Amino acid sequence: MKKIFSILSIALVVTFLFTSCGGTIKCSNTAGDWYHEISRNMGGYQISSKTKLTIIRNGPGEYEYRLETTVVDAMYGGQPKTEYSSGRFEKDIKDNKWRFSGGAYGNRGGYIAVPSDDWDDYKPSEITIQFDSGRGNSMTFNRY
């Protein structure tokens, strides 16, 4: 019985290491500032949005994020309005989804789509954020 328990314990630890940002997925390669911009004409008025996403590594498997989103809507005089939000990332990555927890993106079921190569040995130049069905359009963020 002890042997079975030991084997199961080892299997759980190995599974955790291979599915979390403290393990083989190189989430640390995503730390830093990311930018997304979009502009659309709606009803004859130009609306643009600029978002800065900052991913912060606090330690192995411990990440948080900060958002700064500035919207300029010509319909309302074109005055920039900036909103701020922050939250954490879940430690475990499931189905190649690194989920936001809390804050604007966590509340919308947002996650970073982790590529099959797990960002191993490189810092990505772009990341894609997706949201649960009906909670927002996907967004591609780039480094500058």
Residue range 7-49, pLDDT digits in tens: 444 443 333 334 457 666 889 999 999 999 999 999 999 999 9
Which pLDDT score, from 0 to 100, does residue 75 have?
A: 92
Which pLDDT score, from 0 to 100, does residue 10 have?
A: 43
At 34-89, the pLDDT tens digits run 999 999 999 999 999 999 999 999 999 899 999 999 999 999 999 999 999 999 99
> Domain 2-142: which CATH class?
mainly beta
Burial class (CB in 10 A: 0-12, 13-18, 19+), 114: buried
Which pLDDT score, from 0 to 100, does residue 1 have?
A: 53
Provide the H-helix boundaries in the chain.
Answer: 2-18, 103-107
Q: Answer with the residue of higher pLDDT: 105 or 1.
A: 105
**Domain assignments of the chain as residue spans, ordered by start:** 2-142
